[in-house]
Structure 1
Amino acid sequence: MAIYPFIRPMIFALDAERAHALTIAGLKAAPLGAPPPSPPALSVRVAGLDFPNPVGLAAGFDKNAEVADKILALGFGFAEVGTLTPLPQSGNPKPRMFRLVADQGVINRLGFNNAGQASAAERLAARDRTRGIVGINIGANKDSEDRIADYEAGVRTMAPLADYLTINISSPNTPGLRALQDEGALDALLERSMAARGADVTPVFLKVAPDLEPADIDAIARIAIDRAVDALIVGNTTISRPDLKSRHGAESGGLSGRPLAALARQRLADFRSATGGAMPIIAVGGIDSAKEAWARICAGASLVQLYTALAYQGPGLGRDIVRGLERLRKRAGFASIAEAIGSAGRTD
């Protein structure tokens, strides 16, 4: 949106979490428009779903599934709501969200703050699902005695309302959650979660962290394939700290935005190699332009997601990236964006 550079200083004068809450409130109050048409050549089929374009809004923005259709109306090809836990939880103590303006990044330690799955389920059940693709991201409560049981409960509650369901074990802000990426725990988690669908055929995606060792990547890829996961989302925020200029760079939590881009690119390549291209990958982390989105697609991503860059570039970013991808597709001579997926690694 052309006006955003003029109002951004006022937004940035507010605490980051307060600004986000006001953004959600503004979207809720805005009239619901129709999603703008995407160029037909940008449509992508993943896990049996037809995405009008490959640019999605990542989980974390619309935690309580309040504005999914407003997000789609901004030009995104899909929206992912959550993370939603079985029971409401307030998250970690404030302050817990910090802009790194000089780095075009954010550090957060929110801790799955959300109003719970039952509250979101009412809104999701009432929406017109023909308006576009909405994925639901589920997690475990911080104080749960059986976190795998939390995921089972989330699958049973949310799968019937989702176009796809994301099992999120990638957040660094719930102590011990990333341990579910360990080989034995992950196999049990996926076995029980997939069984919890029953007769429901909602596609299941697995969201993993970028802070992984090579052996972890190979094991995750193998188990995800064995358990018939429909796609991998690679990845989430990082606990690593590259060179940061901002005064908040030493805050604890997960780092997102532009400083994450190099690591996210590497993890995309790692999982593309580990899966042998046998599973769709959704790339997330540091995507802030059509050029970056195109590079991830050519490196093997079927879809891309963004979030942090919206704070710096405004609500028109999704539509801008869609337009830029169409220009890049034409320039490269591909008949469709699907032809570009993984093209950087092909020798034919």
Structure 2
Amino acid sequence: MIFSRLSPLLRIPALADLTRDTLLRMDAETAHGATIAALRMGLAPERSQPDAPELRTTICGLDLSNPVGMAAGFDKNAEVARPLALMGFGMVEIGTVTPRPQSGNPKPRLFRIPEAGGVINRMGFNNEGHDAAFARLKDQRVPAALGVNIGANKDSEDFVADYVLGVQRFADLADYLTVNVSSPNTPGLRNLQADEALRRLLGEVLAARAKARTHVPVFLKIAPDLDEASLDAIATVVLATDLDGLIVSNTTVTRDAVAGLENATETGGLSGKPLFTLATERLAQMRQRVGALPLIGVGGIHSPQTALAKIEAGANAIQLYSALVFGGLDMLDRLKQGLVTAIRAQGKRNLSDLVGTKTADWAAGRGEI
């Protein structure tokens, strides 16, 4: 992620020139590390005024000042949840965290596709593990909905058991949990989206949630690379449980939208602008299948118009990350202002009045921005 502007409190020479363009000249993972370091030191701009009342959103009992969240993948180790919230995100999702620390895949493993506004990653759930994330979060006061995205260690003998451990560890600390079974960078992980495997996973995860002191909402994050039969199967399983919602979607392994461009042949998941249409169509198709079940739309948001399109396709709230690499952190303010403008222009009182108004178009491949 990249700063397009930094706090005027910048005093450290090494960070004084940490602009968006400077970071784009760095290796992608180095730039990401520099941004995390800057946030940890309090060098990010903070929200200057309250969010407009039209943006107030309730999802799964969580009251959000606005529906725009930081997606998982940015703050893998729960280092900067509070600074992100202070910048104005309505929710902040850390992780993915696994029970044991793991180094992830060999570097380089993060690649930009500048011409398309895309990013490919094959990070491989690199993180410091449950204990490190828990230790940081228990001491942070995060003025936004705090999500913890839980995953499984690559060498685990039982992926489902790892997710249960994640629920047990974070259920009483997080405002919501996300079960991430859709990363393409852990071999075999996406198989948990299949019918019987998903039944077992959700059964054990929700049983563990039931034993927690608080009833924390649980979301399932799914891949965009699913055919309609797979969407049907997931919807059938999910609606037979008390799962709270879905996050649609993770990165894609397809490359049609970036064919022939720099880094397009790198292995991993593609995110950013090239993912927008695919992820939004899957979002709308799941909305048609799950009725009023809460949905968080993520994948390819890069402008106020695309943020609005996610809502109209069926999202109750949205998340972004990759587009900030190219658009800068002021994109957050631009998105929120754009949503307010759209609400007022259509004579609505709240963003919720726009949810799903164009689901049919997006589900049929006729969506426009």
TM-score (norm 2): 0.90
Which of residues 257, 268, 276 in structure 1 aligns to 2:283?
268
Alpha-carbon deviations, 1:28-73, whole Å to 9, x = none?
0016886541111111111011111111110000000110111112
- Alignment-derived partner of residue 205 in structure 2: 193
Q: Partners of 1:33 and 1:11 in 2: how far apart?
A: 17
- Alignment-derived partner of residue 303 in structure 2: 289
Q: Quick check: 1:138–1:166 contact (8 Å CA) kept in 2?
A: yes
Q: Quick check: 2:182–2:190 contact (8 Å CA) kept in 1?
A: yes
- Alignment-derived partner of residue 251 in structure 1: 266
Q: Quick check: 2:44–2:87 contact (8 Å CA) kept in 1?
A: no
Q: Partners of 1:345 and 1:169 in 2: how far apart?
A: 25
Deviation, structure 1 residue 331? 0.5
Which of residues 38, 42, 50 in structure 2 aligns to 1:37?
50
Q: Quick check: 1:76–1:319 contact (8 Å CA) kept in 2?
A: no
Q: Quick check: 1:74–1:316 contact (8 Å CA) kept in 2?
A: no
- Alignment-derived partner of residue 70 in structure 2: 57
Which of residues 190, 205, 214 in structure 1 aligns to 2:219?
205
- Alignment-derived partner of residue 37 in structure 2: 25
Higher mean C-alpha displacement, 141-150 vs 265-274: 265-274
Q: Partners of 1:109 and 1:259 in 2: how far apart?
A: 17
Q: Quick check: 1:55–1:305 contact (8 Å CA) kept in 2?
A: yes
Counterparts of 1:10-159 in structure 2 under 5 Å?
10-30=22-42, 35=47, 36-129=49-142, 131-159=143-171
Q: Quick check: 1:297–1:304 contact (8 Å CA) kept in 2?
A: yes
- Alignment-derived partner of residue 337 in structure 2: 323
- Alignment-derived partner of residue 240 in structure 1: 254
- Alignment-derived partner of residue 174 in structure 1: 186
Summarize the Cα distance change of 1:263–1:32 in structure 2 as closer, same or farther, 3 Å threshold: closer
Q: Partners of 1:2 and 1:19 in 2: how far apart?
A: 13
Matched AA of 1:301: A
Deviation, structure 1 residue 218? 0.9
Question: Superposition RMSD on alpha carbons, in Å?
Answer: 1.8
Q: Partners of 2:360 and 2:279 in 1: how far apart?
A: 21
Matched AA of 1:71: L
TM-score (norm 1): 0.95
Summarize the Cα distance change of 1:23–1:34 in structure 2 as closer, same or farther, 3 Å threshold: closer
Q: Secondary structure at the match of 2:252?
A: coil
Deviation, structure 1 residue 153? 0.4
Q: Partners of 2:141 and 2:345 in 1: how far apart?
A: 36
Deviation, structure 1 residue 152? 0.4
Q: Secondary structure at the match of 2:99?
A: coil
Q: Would you say how many aligned residue pairs link Structure 1 and Structure 2?
A: 345
Summarize the Cα distance change of 1:142–1:6 in structure 2 as closer, same or farther, 3 Å threshold: closer
Q: Quick check: 1:32–1:69 contact (8 Å CA) kept in 2?
A: no
Q: Partners of 2:300 and 2:32 in 1: how far apart?
A: 19
Q: Which runs of 4+ in 1 moved over 3 A?
A: 1-6, 31-36
Unaligned runs of 5+ in 2: 7-16, 362-369
Higher mean C-alpha displacement, 6-15 vs 164-173: 6-15
Report whether the alignment pairs 1:299 with 2:324.
no
